[in-house]
């Protein structure tokens, strides 16, 4: 009966996704953006009941055990690892001592992964505040453990408490970590107005001292969207963000309007030597993905590598997990490297680009596959 129920629900979700109204052109700072049609989207799985995560707010691809995705939920103080199919819980992280550690146990709104001084960390943003009444907020972090089937791990995480530089309360659902400058970035969630980007360099020695974020830039729309535009066509209500492992690409996702059912994922391309903030300020015409379609309560996004990323939502009933891959011309299976890279070739396999050499097969960010 459970399998039949799941199949019926999955079929309904597929029909709903196909029937969703295509988003209108996106207005960003008064200009209409051009679609990026170089990517394709496929449904690779669902957030299954076995994960016990009814509201997935953040995801991050594992760097310690490639092939798996970490997921966290709003008010459930645990993190689980699954594969892209999402139907099996491989590892669960529990945090049994959060209250004694005085760590915030609610409104965990996003997660990200990154490397600091050679160690892989997972970061969780406990900074949701719909009513905008809290005095301070928290980023929880810990070393990423290895994923093994059936493992349950207890962890006492560290935390960074922070406030905003304007001294006000803010609601936030987007956290990303940059491997290049080893800095955390936070984006506020604002209705029908600009969202704001803040930063905090990551360090291990903050201790109990409350940190003040640095304001970096505005992001999105202002009240004037341009001639003929409607309020919901502007980019606001940011719900997720991530930076590719090589630092080159930035994804920012929004949940725009529950009535019109429009939302977008923006792609920012970083130039060499730029900080994340410099890229967001310079690139006034980021590219919305044409293949992206509205996800009910879509609040999670993460890069696998610079050619692949995932999204899912925090809606009830086994929401879909979507995989986005860079498109190549039909029939192209491999791209030969130039003569300066003798002995290596670029290979296109199952929708992703890999590096093949005599040492093995590697992802574009250098992780060995086989």
pLDDT single digits (tens) 104-118: 888 999 999 999 999
- 22 and 144 housed in the same domain: yes
- 316 and 351 housed in the same domain: no
SS3 of 199, please? strand
Tell me if 173 sits within 8 A of 109, measured CB to CB: yes
- 253 and 116 housed in the same domain: yes
Residue with tokens 């379609």: 293
Residue 350 CA to residue 179 CA, distance in Å, equals: 27
- 310 and 351 housed in the same domain: no
Q: pLDDT tens-digit profile of 307-346?
A: 899 999 887 778 999 999 988 655 555 555 444 444 556 6
CA angle, residues 213, 219, 221, in degrees to nearest 5: 140
CATH label of the domain that carries residue 122? 2.120.10
- For residue 351, count CB atoms less than 10 angstroms from its CB and return exposed for 0-12, middle for 13-18, buried for 19 or more: middle
Q: Domain total for the chain?
A: 2
Residue-range definition of the domain harbouring residue 336: 328-370
Token pair belonging to 362: 């590697």
Q: pLDDT tens-digit profile of 67-99?
A: 999 999 887 788 999 999 999 999 999 999 988
SS3 of 24, please? coil
- 288 and 355 housed in the same domain: no
- 229 and 369 housed in the same domain: no
- 86 and 155 housed in the same domain: yes
List the strands of the sheet with 151-154, edge to edge.
Answer: 56-61, 69-73, 76-82, 91-94, 151-154
Tell me if 159 sits within 8 A of 105, measured CB to CB: no
- 179 and 160 housed in the same domain: yes
Q: Which residue has the higher pLDDT, 316 or 191?
A: 191
Q: At a CB cut-off of 8 Å and minimum separation 6, what does 339 contact?
A: none
- 270 and 355 housed in the same domain: no
- 147 and 190 housed in the same domain: yes
- 62 and 172 housed in the same domain: yes
Whether the full predicted model's pTM is greater than 0.85, yes or no, is no
Please identify, among 306, 325, 344, the residue that sits at the C-terminal boundary of a domain: 325
- 235 and 337 housed in the same domain: no
Residue 160 CA to residue 338 CA, distance in Å, equals: 46
């Amino acid at each position: 009966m459970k399998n039949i129920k799941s199949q019926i629900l999955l079929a309904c979700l597929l029909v709903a996704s196909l029937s969703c109204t295509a988003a209108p052109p996106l207005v960003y700072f008064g200009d209409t953006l051009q679609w990026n049609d170089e990517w394709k989207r496929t449904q690779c799985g669902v957030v299954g009941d076995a994960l016990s995560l009814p509201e997935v707010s953040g995801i991050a691809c594992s760097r310690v055990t490639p092939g798996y995705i970490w997921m966290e939920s709003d008010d459930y103080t645990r993190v689980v690892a699954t594969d892209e199919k999402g139907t099996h819980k491989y590892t669960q992280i529990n945090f049994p001592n959060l209250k004694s550690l005085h760590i915030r146990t609610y409104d965990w709104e996003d997660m990200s992964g990154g490397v600091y001084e050679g160690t892989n960390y997972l970061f969780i943003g406990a900074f949701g505040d719909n009513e905008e009444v809290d005095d301070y907020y928290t980023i929880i972090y810990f070393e990423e453990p290895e994923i093994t089937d059936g493992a349950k791990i207890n962890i006492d995480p560290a935390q960074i408490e922070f406030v905003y530089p304007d001294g006000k309360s803010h609601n936030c659902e987007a956290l990303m970590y940059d491997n290049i400058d080893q800095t955390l970035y936070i984006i506020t969630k604002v209705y029908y107005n600009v969202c704001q980007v803040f930063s905090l360099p990551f360090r291990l020695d903050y201790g109990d001292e409350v940190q003040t974020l640095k304001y970096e830039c505005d992001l999105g729309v202002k009240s004037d969207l341009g001639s003929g535009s409607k309020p919901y066509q502007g980019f606001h209500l940011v719900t997720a963000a991530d930076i590719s492992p090589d630092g080159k690409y930035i994804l920012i996702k929004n949940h725009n309007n529950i009535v019109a059912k429009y939302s977008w994922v923006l792609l920012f391309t970083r130039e060499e030597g730029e900080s994340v903030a410099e890229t967001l300020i310079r690139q006034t015409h980021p590219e919305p993905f044409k293949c992206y379609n509205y996800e009910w309560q879509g609040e999670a996004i993460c890069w696998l590598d610079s050619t692949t990323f995932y999204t899912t939502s925090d809606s009830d009933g086994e929401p879909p997990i979507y995989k986005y891959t860079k498109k190549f011309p039909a029939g192209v299976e491999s791209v030969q490297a130039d003569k300066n890279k003798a002995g290596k070739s670029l290979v296109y396999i199952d929708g992703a680009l890999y590096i093949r050499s005599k040492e093995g097969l590697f992802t574009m960010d250098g992780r060995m596959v086989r």
